[in-house]
């Protein structure tokens, strides 16, 4: 049975890009595999320096995962920082990671280009991510396209370590869905916590309606035919939430002319809102039972740590540490 692992960083509120790119595929895979899912709170330290916020986002993401269908009976679920071995492994593999490899990282280049302070954590981010993956003998990592390069680096690091110290790590593969690899945000760019263009999975109804109704469209009249209807952002997003025939009907009406953008956005909001309705109810239930959520994470950490200890012992042994 392949071991599946993925993580999400608690640096903000989760959005539908996170859901379709990583959470839903992970949740679909939990039944047929050996599933390991975690909240990457160490990774959030490069983006966030407020302890209260980190705690709140971490708890929020735990609720989101469980509400959306992560089943602790099927998947091991934990907070990254409950397994400090991951930092030790980062050192072992980091000592073999060429500077040039890290200098080529898109995420590092993008962030520093935006003026984010270039510190060691930001630079070493992909090594910590490789440690997450390698520590658990992972075979498959479901992620969005923005993580592809990190997975390639993880493979390079694993191969180099195995070559240097003997077979130690499983070399993992990414699982990126072709259609859901890059979910667009409200402005048409990739949806991202750091671009301010997100549609949250859970949030205030009024605010989310306003965001969706505020999507900027061109100035063509409703009557005008629109041969580029398939490229329309609201149509693309509607396809995520509405049954295929319903979404196709909206697309055809937009193409033929006669459907106004306002009505299209209204339909998008309704389908989006209804899509997450059952998860919203589950989330409210869980939020009233935080002891249970904490227990899930603690028990998950115990199970994850047992696996981590074995890999760590093997890695230490192979590179001549005690
Ligand atoms: P993060 O928290 O930025 O994103 C979590 C997951 O959501 C996916 N994603 C998207 N997918 C499609 N369209 C989008 N617009 C979109 N935005 C985000 C991401 O690709 C990701 O799969 N470094 C990771 C967390 C991490 C991790 C790991 C992941 C730490 N260790 C080990 C896998 C394995 C991150 O910050 O993801």
Alpha carbon distances (Å) from 163 to 157, 171, 308, 322: 10, 12, 21, 20
What are the structural domains, with CATH classification, of the chain? 3-183+290-318 (3.40.50.620), 203-275 (1.10.240.10)
Q: What is the mean pLDDT of residues 6-27?
A: 97
Give the model's confidence band at 152: pLDDT under 50 very low, under 70 low, under 90 confident, else very high. Answer: very high
22 C-beta closer than 6 A to ligand 1 = yes
Instruction: List the one residue out of 294, 301, 284 whose CA is nearest residue 55.
Output: 294
pLDDT at position 117 is 85
46 assigned to a ligand binding site: no
Please compute the mean of the pLDDT values over residues 66-94 and round it to a whole number.
Answer: 98
Position 44 confidence tier, pLDDT thresholds 50, 70, 90: very high
Q: What is the DSSP letter of 147?
A: G
Res 322 pLDDT > 90:
no
- Identify the residue whose tokens are 């690899």: 181
pLDDT above 90 (res 116): no
Average pLDDT over residues 132-159: 97
The answer to whether 257 and 222 have CB atoms below 8 angstroms apart is: yes
The reply to whether ligand 1 has any atom less than 6 angstroms from the CB of 128 is no
Q: Is residue 115 scored above 90 in pLDDT?
A: no
> Are 36 and 82 within 8 A, CB to CB?
no
Mean pLDDT (whole number) for 4-25 = 97
CA distance 10 to 301: 17
Instruction: Give residue 111's pLDDT band: very low, low, confident or very high (50, 70, 90).
Output: confident
Give dist(CA 93, CA 113) in Å, integer. 27
Which atom in ligand 1 lies closest to the alpha carbon of residue 146? 20
State which ligand 1 atom lies nearest to the alpha carbon of 181: 12
Is 234 close to ligand 1, i.e. is its CB under 6 Å away? no
The closest-lying atom of ligand 1 relative to the alpha carbon of residue 22 is 22
Residue 86: is its pLDDT beyond 80? yes
Residues with a known catalytic role: 111, 190, 193
Q: Is the pLDDT of residue 217 over 90?
A: yes
| Digit-coded pLDDT (tens) for 262-272 | 999 999 999 99
For 6, the enclosing helix (H) or strand (E) is strand 3-8
What confidence score (pLDDT) does residue 32 get? 84
Are the CB atoms for 258 and 222 separated by under 8 Å? yes
pLDDT over threshold 80, residue 33? no
Residue 130, ligand 1, Cβ within 6 A: no
The pTM (predicted TM-score) of the whole model is 0.96
pLDDT top residue among 89 and 118: 89
The whole-chain average pLDDT of the chain stands at: 96
* pLDDT bucket at 220, cuts 50 / 70 / 90: very high
Cβ atoms of 278 and 60 within 8 Å: the answer is no
- Is 243 assigned a ligand-binding role in the annotation? no
| Ligand 1 centroid to residue 146 C-alpha, Å | 7
Percent of the chain scoring above 70 in pLDDT: 100
Using a 6 Å cutoff on CB, does residue 147 contact ligand 1?
yes
pLDDT beyond 90 at 279 = yes
Site of tokens 């709140």: 56
Specify the pLDDT at position 195: 87
Query: Distance between CA atoms of 75 and 81, rounded to whole angstroms?
Result: 18
List helix spans (H) across the chain. Answer: 16-18, 24-29, 51-67, 85-94, 99-103, 106-113, 120-135, 148-165, 205-213, 233-241, 244-256, 261-275, 277-287, 290-318
Which one-letter DSSP state was computed for residue 193?
Answer: G
Q: Which residues contact 287 (CB under 8 A, 6 or more apart)?
A: 63
Looking at residue 194, what is its pLDDT? Answer: 82
164 among the known binding-site residues? no
> Residue 133: CB within 6 Å of ligand 1?
yes
∠ CA 289-291-293, rounded to 5°: 80
Quick: pLDDT tens for 159-208.
999 999 999 999 999 999 988 899 999 999 999 988 899 999 999 999 99
pLDDT of 275: 98
- Which atom of ligand 1 lies at the shortest distance from residue 143's CA? 22
310 is in an annotated binding site: no
Q: How far is the CA of 303 from the centre of ligand 1 (A)?
A: 23
Distance 122 CA to ligand 1 centre (A): 15
């Amino acid at each position: 049975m392949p071991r599946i692992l993925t993580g999400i960083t608690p640096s903000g509120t989760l959005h539908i890009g996170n859901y379709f790119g990583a959470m839903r595929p992970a949740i679909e895979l939990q039944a047929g595999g050996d599933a390991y899912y975690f909240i990457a709170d160490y990774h959030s330290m490069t983006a966030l320096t407020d302890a209260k916020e980190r705690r709140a986002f971490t708890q929020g993401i735990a609720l989101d995962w469980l509400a959306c269908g992560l089943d602790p009976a099927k998947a091991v679920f934990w907070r990254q920082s409950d397994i400090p071995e991951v930092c030790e492994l980062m050192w072992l593999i980091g000592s073999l990671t060429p500077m040039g490899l890290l200098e080529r990282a898109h995420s590092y280049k993008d962030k520093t280009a935006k003026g984010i302070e270039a510190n060691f954590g930001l630079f070493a981010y992909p090594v910590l991510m490789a440690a997450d993956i390698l520590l658990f003998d992972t075979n498959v990592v479901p992620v969005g396209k923005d993580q592809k390069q990190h997975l390639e680096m993880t493979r390079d690091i694993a191969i180099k370590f195995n070559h240097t110290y003997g077979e130690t790590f499983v070399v993992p593969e990414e699982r990126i869905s072709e259609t859901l690899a890059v979910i667009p945000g409200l402005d048409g760019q990739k949806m991202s916590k750091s671009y301010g263009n997100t549609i949250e999975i859970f949030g205030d109804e009024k605010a989310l309606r306003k965001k969706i109704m505020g999507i900027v469209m061109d100035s063509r009249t409703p009557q005008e035919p629109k041969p580029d209807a398939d490229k329309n952002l609201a149509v693309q997003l509607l396809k995520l939430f509405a049954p295929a025939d319903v979404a196709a009907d909206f697309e055809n009406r937009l193409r033929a002319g006669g459907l106004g953008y306002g009505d299209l956005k209204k339909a998008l909001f309704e389908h989006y809102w209804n899509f997450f309705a059952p998860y919203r109810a589950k989330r409210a239930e869980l939020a009233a039972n935080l002891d249970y959520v904490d227990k899930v994470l603690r028990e998950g950490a115990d199970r994850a740590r047992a696996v981590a200890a074995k890999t760590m012992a093997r890695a230490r042994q192979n590179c001549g540490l005690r």
